[in-house]
Amino acid sequence: MSKPWIKILLLFIVTILLLELGLRLAGYRPGYFFTKSFYEKTRFKPVDSLEYLKVFYPDSDGITKINQDFCKTFSSSNSPVNTRYFDYICGAHLNSDGYRNREFTDTANKGKKKVKLFLLGDSFTYGFSAKPITLSFADLLDNDPDFEVYNGGVPGSDPVTYLAIAKKYLQQVRPDFVIVNFFLYNDEVYYPKKLVPYKFNDIFVTNAGGLVRLNFESLDRDSVEIFEGPLDAYKNVHMKSSLLFAENKWAKLATHSCITTLAWRFLNLDQNVKINVVKYKKENYTPYLLNAIKEEAEKVNAKFILSFIPTRDGKDVKELQLHLDTITNKQIPYNLINTLHPDDYAPSPDSHFNNSGHAKYAEFLKGIIQKK
């Protein structure tokens, strides 16, 4: 007759094995905190080996531009980049300077009575998530018989790049209006960022997704952290969803089963992940940068418009007012669209306008210009 403790042990082992099997059938994998379907719905994709994709390249001024050789090498069917974003990046007409627009010259409008608009901004201005991209707010304005648009939008950029573009091209184009389209989620600059020639300054585009150099979590602290390279940015994202970069020997041991991996996540234990960052004292450089862009506009006798693009969820009006006053240091007049709703944005995790959002924003800008 077998001893009771042996039966209990066997029952325990069988229960653990069945639980492990059930978790794996549900889509969990050892070392990962979430199911495979979870990762498929996010911008982040775990990969066995991180590859830096040369979708963009920094020019001699450090300004990020689309690498047209990358677009010639791949198609939307075999691209290592998200298919939807590949179509936006490589499916659009680019001028000789690498921007999604006509040539940056002062010759296109000669003899015409159109108002020339130079747009500065990030992927919103570039046209992301409009279907087709020619229904973006920049294109809608350009299709208006009264306007001629020069689109200086660069995906993933911020006012540091906006200023560099203004310095490089406003004298060539000599527009009537310079419009900064400022996205309230990630356009603020909190450290003395400088563009370095031929060095990528904003986002690392990888086979795991776009990895931002700035650690947004550090914005809640006294110092701002900038990841030294794409692997550091990848580790920072990864340690929130897996144990694969853990230095802790017990965490490494936990990666051998789904049960121990999820137990580690539940207990929120330290992984000791080594991430290389450069730290800066947190200061708001945004007002200086916006004022510098305004001065560049004035050098070519162009009127300056600062327009804020709110996030999908928005903010309380009073809270938002304080935020905008901080960004502008109460010295630069600004405009904020108030007709947008959550359904004017593309489905999450995409944070850009959909067609209705682009259309509303185009009408909003048109109204501001006409009042000027």
- Tens of pLDDT, residues 280-308: 999 999 999 999 999 999 999 999 999 99
Most confident of 84-98, 125-139, 311-325: 125-139
Check pLDDT > 90 for residue 181: yes
Residue 152: both structure tokens together: 């200086």
Does the structure show a pLDDT above 70 at 359?
A: yes
pLDDT at 361 over 90: yes
Domain count, the chain: 1
Q: SS3 of 97, please?
A: coil
Quote the CA–CA distance of 40 and 26 in Å, as a whole number. Answer: 15
pLDDT at 280: 94
Structural domain harbouring 289: 92-189+284-371
- Average pLDDT of 6-25? 92
Tokens 């208006």 belong to residue: 144
What CATH number is given to the structural domain containing 162? 3.40.50.1110
Q: Per-residue confidence at 112, pLDDT binned at 50, 70, 90?
A: low
**Residue 145 identity (one-letter amino acid):** P
pLDDT band at 325; cut points 50, 70, 90: confident
DSSP character at residue 114: P
Helices (H), the chain: 4-25, 36-40, 68-73, 83-90, 123-126, 137-142, 159-173, 230-238, 249-254, 258-267, 286-299, 317-328, 355-371
Give the chain's length: 372
Q: Quick one: 40 exposed, middle or buried, by C-beta within 10 A (0-12, 13-18, 19+)?
A: exposed
pTM: 0.86
Task: Give the pLDDT confidence of 151-164 residue by residue, as tens digits.
Answer: 999 988 999 999 99
Coil, helix or strand at residue 11: helix
Residue 138 within any structural domain of the chain: yes
Distance CA 132, CA 354 (A): 10
Query: Is residue 142 in a domain?
Result: yes
- For 160-251, strand residue ranges (E) read 177-183, 203-206, 209-212, 223-227
Burial class (CB in 10 A: 0-12, 13-18, 19+), 333: exposed
Residues 6+ apart with CB under 8 A from 314: 320, 340
pLDDT at 367 over 80: yes
**109 assigned to some structural domain:** yes
* DSSP-derived secondary structure letter, 184: T
Give dist(CA 251, CA 270) in Å, integer.
8
168 within 8 A of 300, measured Cβ to Cβ: no
Is the pLDDT confidence value at 71 over 50? yes
Q: Are 172 and 106 in contact (CB under 8 A)?
A: yes
Which one-letter amino acid corresponds to residue 354?
A: N
Handedness of CA 127, 130, 132, 138 (dihedral sign): negative
Give the per-residue pLDDT at 1. 47
Number of CB atoms found within 10 A of residue 310's CB = 16
The confidence band for 317, taking pLDDT boundaries of 50, 70 and 90, is low
**Confidence grade of residue 81 (pLDDT, cut at 50, 70, 90):** low
- Give 241-272 pLDDT, tens digit per residue: 899 899 989 999 999 999 999 999 999 888 88
Residue 136 has pLDDT above 90, yes or no: yes
Return the SS3 of 214: strand
The first and second tokens of residue 84, run together, are: 């939807």
Residue 213: inside a domain: no
Higher pLDDT, 45 or 357: 357
Q: Answer for the pair 176, 117: CB distance below 8 angstroms, yes or no.
A: yes
**47 lies in some domain:** no
**pLDDT of residue 105 exceeding 90:** no
C-alpha distances (whole Å) from 62 to each of 16, 22, 201 are: 55, 51, 7
In a domain, 334, yes or no: yes
User: What pLDDT band is residue 82 in, cutting at 50, 70 and 90?
Assistant: low
The answer on pLDDT for 107 being more than 60 is: no
What pLDDT, in 10s, does the model give residues 204-244? 888 888 888 888 888 888 899 999 888 999 998 888 889 98
Please compute the mean of the pLDDT values over residues 358-365 and round it to a whole number. Answer: 98
| Position 75 confidence tier, pLDDT thresholds 50, 70, 90 | low
CB atoms within 10 A of CB 294: 20
Angle at 92 between CA 45 and CA 96, to 5 degrees: 115
CB–CB of 177/303 below 8 Å? Answer: yes
Position 290 scores a pLDDT of 97
pLDDT for position 6: 84
Please report the pLDDT score of residue 96 as a whole number: 86
Please tell me which residue, 295 or 101, carries the higher pLDDT value: 295
Average pLDDT, the chain: 88
Closest CA to 62 of 213, 182, 275: 213
Determine the pLDDT at residue 83.
60
**Which of 54, 84, 52 minimizes the C-alpha distance to 68?**
54
Return the pLDDT at 336: 92
Q: Is pLDDT at 3 greater than 80 in this prediction?
A: no
212: CB partners within 8 A, 6+ apart: 156, 186, 202, 203, 204, 233
The verdict on residue 147 lying in a domain is yes
Maximal C-alpha separation, the chain: 104
Share of the chain above pLDDT 70, in %: 93
In a domain, 84, yes or no: no
Range of weakest confidence among 76-80, 112-116, 124-128, 334-338: 76-80
Q: List the helix and strand counts (H, then E) for the chain.
A: 13, 11
